[in-house]
């Protein structure tokens, strides 16, 4: 099978879903053809993200250039050059081979932001496996869902995180091996029976490894993302996505050879891999990784200490910096910063206005999704920022706003944000869920699930989501996931979950619950339900607020009417309630 956007022969058939080949219909032109040539590729036309990000630099002029500057939670520091990363990832690839990992197998990572996570992920890519990083703040339930659905064979984790999920491990029939990274031997508890020590395995491993002959269409990375209904879906990306991750690093993040780049996202979310690993390293750029979480003072200190030049962060973080006041940034020299970008939620004009005097530049908003794999709409470095706008589509990206019949709408009209399929970093499937994947494509468009409009000058403006998915601090939360956990609490019979507007986090998760007959609604019970949800989920996605209701509004077919709960919460008109349950 031939593809019209590959410059070197692929060794195997395209693994693209058939409907997409139809959608492409041969009419797309691919401005990335030139870009593909900027990558090195492997002999025979093979493509592997790990080679593009690490090996090609390690065997070339960037051999001794720092790739990773790491600062730990306790202020520990480590530096890895591209050469050192090559050696470590080669070793870990051998470790995985030794454990029987094969091409296409899933290997998952439940780790803090330590160098070993980066090494392990690229090691897995070298073997040709599919890497699935998980957010370390997750509780056992989200981890279980993801490991079960993906059928991961190997999990790489750390002692305290392993303890957190110990209860779910016996429920994972496909999970064969657990590799535990005990950094600095910090943890004194002995390895659980059957677990393997990362350090011991690495000590034995050879640093001679031949990267798997992965094709451009072989799967490389997967991230689970939430929808309105059902469990989260595993959006799968192929090695070819690197083309777009690489070029958006240049075009949008404006990477230059001497940059020190800092992406504040965790690899458990797509920004933390596409822009916390793939974009900077495919460009041979040095990046800072900070293990710790948000802390205003520390963040300014890090920018000064590492002389960060390019910074990619999120609106909630910027609003938290705003809240921390103007004194802190004044105490630090932030003059190294040349270019700042943001993603994940709408970047409000106030945040840009606040940032302008503090950073002496505008913060540039960018738009994309787990499914898009890379930035598709952006305020480019050279473009005048229109505060509140997501910017313009990238070269080669056709974005549109559609009506209910999936027909394009004119400028200044709200509708569904859609993208013409076929861009290099487009997701290739939802794991085990082709039906859901296909449902995202309509009338020749990929339907993003966002509502937007564009103005006469072609700038796109975010309006909202078309579904009930909650965006809290840039993390997408599916109401269904939270509701199903709440229903597991012995006192709860009904649960409805909405996003409640919040000045810092954009939205916070708010739950309404009805309790079983005979159960008393007390403060103590409320605290218990809170605690229950936090232990099972993660503080980041568990409800911030829970309220008792005698019963929840439902449609005749028994669906909880989240829309109505939200309207009531906000004091808005309740709209059409004709499908509401009577009585």
List residues near ligand 6R9 by CB under 6 A.
Answer: 225, 269-271, 343-346, 365-370, 390, 448-450, 462, 465, 471, 474, 476
Min separation Cβ 367 and ligand 6R9, Å? 4
Structure tokens at 295: 């802390």
Min separation Cβ 30 and ligand 6R9, Å? 23
Listed residue (213, 145, 234) closest to 428, CA to CA: 234
Region for 120 from its dihedrals, namely left if φ exceeds 0, alpha if ψ lies in -120 to 50, beta otherwise:
alpha
Nearer to ligand 6R9, 245 or 366 (CB): 366
Nearer to ligand 6R9, 228 or 298 (CB): 228
Min separation Cβ 95 and ligand 6R9, Å? 31
Phi and psi dihedrals of 322, rounded to 5? -55, -45
Region for 432 from its dihedrals, namely left if φ exceeds 0, alpha if ψ lies in -120 to 50, beta otherwise:
left
Nearer to ligand 6R9, 80 or 251 (CB): 251
Residue with tokens 């197998």: 105
Task: Report helix, strand or coil for 494.
Answer: strand
Nearer to ligand 6R9, 101 or 279 (CB): 279
Region for 562 from its dihedrals, namely left if φ exceeds 0, alpha if ψ lies in -120 to 50, beta otherwise:
alpha
Nearer to ligand 6R9, 55 or 345 (CB): 345
Structure tokens at 112: 């803090």
Min separation Cβ 486 and ligand 6R9, Å? 23
Min separation Cβ 276 and ligand 6R9, Å? 11
Nearer to ligand 6R9, 172 or 265 (CB): 265
Listed residue (412, 426, 418) closest to 451, CA to CA: 418
Task: Report helix, strand or coil for 346.
Answer: coil
State the Cα–Cα distance between residues 133 and 276, nearest whole angstrom.
Answer: 12
Nearer to ligand 6R9, 33 or 254 (CB): 254
Q: Are 391 and 383 in contact (CB under 8 A)?
A: yes
Nearer to ligand 6R9, 351 or 560 (CB): 351
Min separation Cβ 232 and ligand 6R9, Å? 10
What DSSP letter does each residue of 315-332 carry, written as one string?
HHHHHHHHHT-SHHHHTS
Nearer to ligand 6R9, 72 or 478 (CB): 478
Residue sitting closest to ligand 6R9 (CB)? 370
Min separation Cβ 206 and ligand 6R9, Å? 37
Min separation Cβ 128 and ligand 6R9, Å? 25
Min separation Cβ 360 and ligand 6R9, Å? 22
Phi and psi dihedrals of 576, rounded to 5? -75, 115
**Chain CA centroid to CA 137, Å:** 14
CA atoms within 13 A on the CB side of 42: 22
Q: Residues near 501 by Cβ (< 8 Å), separated by ≥ 6? A: 507, 570
């Amino acid at each position: 099978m031939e593809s019209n956007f590959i410059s070197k022969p692929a060794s195997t058939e395209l693994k693209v879903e058939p409907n997409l080949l139809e959608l492409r219909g041969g009419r797309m032109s691919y401005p990335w053809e030139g870009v593909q040539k900027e990558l090195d590729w492997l002999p025979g036309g093979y493509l592997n993200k790990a080679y593009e990000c690490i090996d090609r630099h390690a065997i070339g002029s960037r051999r001794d250039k720092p790739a990773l500057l790491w600062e730990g939670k306790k202020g520990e520091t480590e530096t890895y050059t591209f050469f050192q990363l090559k050696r470590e990832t080669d070793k870990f690839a051998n470790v995985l081979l030794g454990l029987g990992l094969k091409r296409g197998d899933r290997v998952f990572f439940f780790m803090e932001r330590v160098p070993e996570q980066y090494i392990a992920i690229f090691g897995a890519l070298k073997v040709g496996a599919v890497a699935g990083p998980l957010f370390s703040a997750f509780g056992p339930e989200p981890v279980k869902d993801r490991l079960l659905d993906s059928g991961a064979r190997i999990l790489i984790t750390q002692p305290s995180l392993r303890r957190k999920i110990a209860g779910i491990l016996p429920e994972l029939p496909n999970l064969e091996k657990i590799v535990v990274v005990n950094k600095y031997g910090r943890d004194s508890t002995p390895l659980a029976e059957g677990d393997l020590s990362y350090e011991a395995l690495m000590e034995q491993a050879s640093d001679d490894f031949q990267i798997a002959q992965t094709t451009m269409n072989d799967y490389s990375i997967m991230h689970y993302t939430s929808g309105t209904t059902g469990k989260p879906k595993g959006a799968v990306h192929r090695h070819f996505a690197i083309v777009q991750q690489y070029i958006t690093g240049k075009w949008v993040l404006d990477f230059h050879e001497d940059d020190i780049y800092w992406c504040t996202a965790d690899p458990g979310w797509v920004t933390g891999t596409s822009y916390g690993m793939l974009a900077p390293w495919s460009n041979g750029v040095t990046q800072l990784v900070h293990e710790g979480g948000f802390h205003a003072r520390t963040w300014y200190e890090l920018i000064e200490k590492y002389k960060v030049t390019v910074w990619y962060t999120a609106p909630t973080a910027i609003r938290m910096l705003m809240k921390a006041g103007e004194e802190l940034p004044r105490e630090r020299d932030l003059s190294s910063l040349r270019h700042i970008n943001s993603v994940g939620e709408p970047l409000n004009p106030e945040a840009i206005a606040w940032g302008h005097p503090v950073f002496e530049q505008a913060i540039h908003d960018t738009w994309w999704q787990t499914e898009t794999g890379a930035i598709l709409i952006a305020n480019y470095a050279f473009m005048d920022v229109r505060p509140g706008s997501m910017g313009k589509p990238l070269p080669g990206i056709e974005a549109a706003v559609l009506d209910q019949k999936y027909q394009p709408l004119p400028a200044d009209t709200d509708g569904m944000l859609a993208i013409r399929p076929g861009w290099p970093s487009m997701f290739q499937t939802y794991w085990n869920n082709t039906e859901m994947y296909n449902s995202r494509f309509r009338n020749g468009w990929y339907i993003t699930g966002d509502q937007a409009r564009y103005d006469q000058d072609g700038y796109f403006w975010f309006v909202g989501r078309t579904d009930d998915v909650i965006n809290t601090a840039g993390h997408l939360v599916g109401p269904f996931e939270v509701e199903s956990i709440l229903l597991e609490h012995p006192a709860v019979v009904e649960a409805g979950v909405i996003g409640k507007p919040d000045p810092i986090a954009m939205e916070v998760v708010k739950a309404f619950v009805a309790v079983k007959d005979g159960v008393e609604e007390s403060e103590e019970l409320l605290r218990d339900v809170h605690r229950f949800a936090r232990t099972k989920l993660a503080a980041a996605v568990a409800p911030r607020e829970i309220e008792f209701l005698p019963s929840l509004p439902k449609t005749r077919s028994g669906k909880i009417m989240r829309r109505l709960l939200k309207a009531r919460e906000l004091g808005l008109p309740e709209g059409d309630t004709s499908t509401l349950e009577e009585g």
